[in-house]
Structure 1
Amino acid sequence: MDKSLAVIVSQLPIHERKELLDGLSDKEVNNILYSWEFWARPNQLPPEGNWRTWLLLAGRGFGKTRTGAEYVIDQVRSGRVKRLALVAPTPADARDVMIQGESGILTISPPWFIPTYYPSKRRVEWPNGAIATIFSGAHPEQLRGPQHELAWCDELAAWKYPQETWDMLMFGLRLGENPRAVITTTPKPTPLIQTIVQSSTTSITRGSTFENSDNLAPAFLEQIVHQYEGTRLGRQELFAEILDDVVGALWKRQQLDDLRVKHHPELIRVIVGIDPAVTSEEGSDETGIIVVGKGVDGHAYVLDDLSLQGSPDGWARSAVTAYYKYQADRIVAEANNGGDLVEHTIRTVDPMVAYKKVHASRGKYIRAEPVAALYEQGRVHHIGSLGTLEDQMCTWSPMHAKSPDRMDALVWALTELMLGKGKAKVKARVV
């Protein structure tokens, strides 16, 4: 059975449905409105057995967030837990998705059991005294010390420091008789995900986007089916498959993991690379914005991925902000599609930045090969995890139709930083 009780009841003949509902008291009807067991599909309910980690690997729109939030609320309402950890990729993700989102804790809590959110304290407090503290995958050191009975980890595959954060969380998950962790994430073949999958104490639930089609906008389903069904990205993001590296891709995940570091040495040069989107309408490609730096050791360090989908003014402001934040020496932008408009957009935001435009005279694969060789030589390191960028690096091949915007921005930035190639003329700062 893959239907919720709510769907089963709705499909009963009208007279049977009416008879069933008329037999309920007002209190019973009110309880049903906030009964997750009634509304949830079977694979959104917690698994049976003596598991320590519940890993919910599901596609976009499956209802992962709702499932995690409902489990947390149920455990707190029942009095089974009093100290919880909410861990997201960033504090903003915890706030906007896990707590205040459409399926977040505050939104779906019953009126008589709504918790109070204290942003300054990074806390959610319930009427019965239970407390959930907010943490992020970008700051694992915050988890050193605190103890919990339950942890809800959202989008673990997108955490900046997944292994370190998970380790600190596990050391503190020691209160109560049966401390547990619930992970709700789109699957990616990261080492940590693979380790958790293989653990004997993990219970795994898998689900696809289409299982929740009754609650998703038809236009959304039509668009993603047309654009992604049958593709590798679709298999991962829609059907929740954990995919290995792509044959023909220039980078491998293990290679990136082996070269990954937490910190960089003193930097002697910093470049912001941009691969601008041609249009800014809904459904357009993202603009890739990658920041890289060269250390005193001669190695390159990928510092940040600030790529976004937005207007020219939006991505230009993001790039200029990065330029000053990282004290960059230059912005390098691919100008084949936008020509001088790319430079004009950036200089409209700030005419003082040092800018260089580059032209793609060769295909993406050929341009990327010398940069991939730097990785093979062990000369490029990522600071923490850069999930979406690394996904593109390890899955794009010449047979891939979608433009790898982030990867392109990385290639432009590292080419300028480490290879010194390109015939583009450097534009000096304008006064």
Structure 2
Amino acid sequence: MITTATLTRARLLLQAVKADNARWYCDKPGCDGLPHEGFPHHHARASQHPPTGAWTEWLLMTGRGWGKTRTAAELVRDWAKNPGTQIAVVAKKESLVRSICFEHKTSGLLHVIPKSDQARFNASGGSGRFFLQLKNGSTIYGFGAEVPDNLRGFAFDKAWFDEFAAWNKQTAQEVYDMMWYDLRESPSPQMVISTTPKPLKHVRDLVSKPGVVITRGHTKDNLPNLSAIALEKLERDYGKTRLGRQELAGELIESIEGALWDVTMFQDPVFRPDTMPPLEDIVVGVDPAVRSSEGADMTAFTVAARAEDAPGMFPDHLNHGYILEAIQGHYTPRDAMAKAGELARKYGASRVVLEANNGGEYLPTVLQMVAPGVPWKIVHAQQDKRGRAMPVATLYEQGRIHHYGGAEKFEDLESQMVTYTGAAGEKSPDLLDSMVWALTELFLSPVGHGDVIDQRIHAR
């Protein structure tokens, strides 16, 4: 006969087994987090252990999927074991605090903190009304980073900032500062910041701040818990790109001194719109290679557009431009002009803009042979690349040029933009040059077709 005492012992045994399986930290030096004697389940890698000694800020700046969320959640769980501890968790939006930091099925606080320790979870939302209360009196509050003043009036002992680099760059620093006011009464204030890096001021300032303990890591460090197929594809497609260095390797890509474009220009959400207004003109800019053999410069093509100047369309009341496509490759003159004609017809371009330096005056003839009826315009460079790129860079600084499509679509172009300085011996940035020709034609030159020499622009 099963008695109440038997059921109680069974329940306690089950709870003990669950608690044992929930253990996160082990003492094995350099542990890879895989099951071993005493830990028959996946657990913390050595790099996921909190810093030793006295510390106040721990920055987990790693690639996506490294295990940042689980690492921070386990630290919060550890903090909360001390009765009465008050902890703040802040993410970009309150909805993300709930779905990622609290409710994620493997890494959220509701998963890592044993149910037996939880007293009440209030998910009604609103400043101070979103929290997880534990039976020992510790409380974990959730906030969105949209409104810094929502943190006023609180007193916390510890804090977790999730995906700090994804926060609104206009308010991120203010939220950070506000939190330290909230930690003012804590006998041992500590903050863990988990993020995949972006080269934004509030991230750079944190990285350079004395006393911040930084853990860096690559997505592949957590391979046993990730899809090998997905990771292989990501490595193949993005591993050697700037995007891959940031999103997979967790590298903070800094701007290059002397470059006309800064990576921060690409971080504003309006830089990559999901929709476009009506367009009044579209051109295909071509930077042709002198030779088509392997190892020679590539021929580059950029499709750019100018939006209609409709009243109230843009806050600055100026025309805005859109980069629609940017590609490069090794082409024979005939194939290059066929590609230019193909792009012109695909996007409905009014003309193809051809740089005719280095003997390229024959290209319009080839274009008319392979793409009859496609309008063209010849331009001759009369400044070096940097000189003619500067006015176009100003358009970007004004926020008037947008890239229509994801970052991966323009990875090669944007990489050239943020790395080209014009130094002696520097490789010719073909995509950058084709983009400059296209935007110069749309915004900085008289509109027209035929054999036109732009006197402001000079040889390569």
CA distance in 2, matches of 1:34, 1:338: 60
Match of 1:144 in 2: 152
Q: Is the 8 A contact 2:158 2:190 kept in 1?
A: yes
With over 3 angstroms needed to count, the CA separation of the structure-2 counterparts of 1:139 and 1:371, relative to structure 1, is farther
Q: Is the 8 A contact 2:132 2:140 kept in 1?
A: yes
Instruction: From 92, 95, 98, give the equivalent of 1:92.
Output: 95
Deviations 1:220-273 (A, max 9, x none): 11111111112222111111111112689652157799xx9xxxxxxxxxx952
CA distance in 1, matches of 2:62, 2:227: 18
With over 3 angstroms needed to count, the CA separation of the structure-2 counterparts of 1:147 and 1:78, relative to structure 1, is closer
1:129 and 2:130 are equivalent in the alignment:
no
Match of 2:121 in 1: 116
Residue 124 of structure 1 aligns to a residue in which SS?
A: strand
Aligned residue pair count: 303
Match of 1:374 in 2: 395
CA distance in 1, matches of 2:104, 2:447: 46
Deviations 1:104-134 (A, max 9, x none): 1112321312351323322232233322222
Q: Aligned-pair distance for 1:381? A: 9.3
Map 1:384-399; keep pairs closer than 5 Å. Answer: 396-398=414-416
Residue 194 of structure 2 aligns to a residue in which SS?
A: strand
Q: Aligned-pair distance for 1:66? A: 0.5
1:195 and 2:205 are equivalent in the alignment:
yes
CA distance in 2, matches of 1:360, 1:368: 21
1:227 and 2:215 are equivalent in the alignment:
no
Instruction: From 82, 86, 95, give the equivalent of 2:85.
Output: 82
Q: Aligned-pair distance for 1:380? A: 4.0
With over 3 angstroms needed to count, the CA separation of the structure-2 counterparts of 1:255 and 1:231, relative to structure 1, is closer
CA RMSD of aligned residues (A): 4.6
Q: Aligned-pair distance for 1:62? A: 0.5
Which AA in structure 2 matches 1:293? Answer: F
CA distance in 1, matches of 2:394, 2:88: 41
TM-score normalized by structure 1?
0.58
Residue 157 of structure 1 aligns to a residue in which SS?
A: helix
Residue 314 of structure 2 aligns to a residue in which SS?
A: strand
1:167 and 2:177 are equivalent in the alignment:
yes
Residue 294 of structure 1 aligns to a residue in which SS?
A: coil
Q: Is the 8 A contact 1:246 1:397 kept in 2?
A: no
With over 3 angstroms needed to count, the CA separation of the structure-2 counterparts of 1:51 and 1:339, relative to structure 1, is same
Deviations 1:191-244 (A, max 9, x none): 222222222231111111111101101111111111111222211111111111
Q: Is the 8 A contact 2:62 2:68 kept in 1?
A: yes
With over 3 angstroms needed to count, the CA separation of the structure-2 counterparts of 1:362 and 1:74, relative to structure 1, is farther
TM-score normalized by structure 2?
0.55
Instruction: From 308, 314, 319, give the equivalent of 1:293.
Output: 314
Q: Is the 8 A contact 2:344 2:351 kept in 1?
A: no
Instruction: From 226, 245, 250, give the equivalent of 1:240.
Output: 250
Q: Is the 8 A contact 2:260 2:417 kept in 1?
A: no
Which AA in structure 1 matches 2:67? Answer: G
Match of 1:70 in 2: 74
With over 3 angstroms needed to count, the CA separation of the structure-2 counterparts of 1:362 and 1:50, relative to structure 1, is farther
1:153 and 2:161 are equivalent in the alignment:
yes
In percent, how many aligned pairs have the same letter?
32
Match of 1:33 in 2: 21
Q: Is the 8 A contact 1:253 1:394 kept in 2?
A: no
Q: Is the 8 A contact 1:152 1:182 kept in 2?
A: yes
Which AA in structure 1 matches 2:261? Answer: W
For structure 2, list consecutive stretches of 5 or more residues without a partner in the other structure: 1-12, 27-42, 269-273, 279-306, 321-342, 355-384, 419-430, 449-460
By percentage of residues, which structure has more helix?
1
For structure 1, list consecutive stretches of 5 or more residues without a partner in the other structure: 1-24, 261-270, 276-289, 302-335, 341-356, 383-387, 424-431
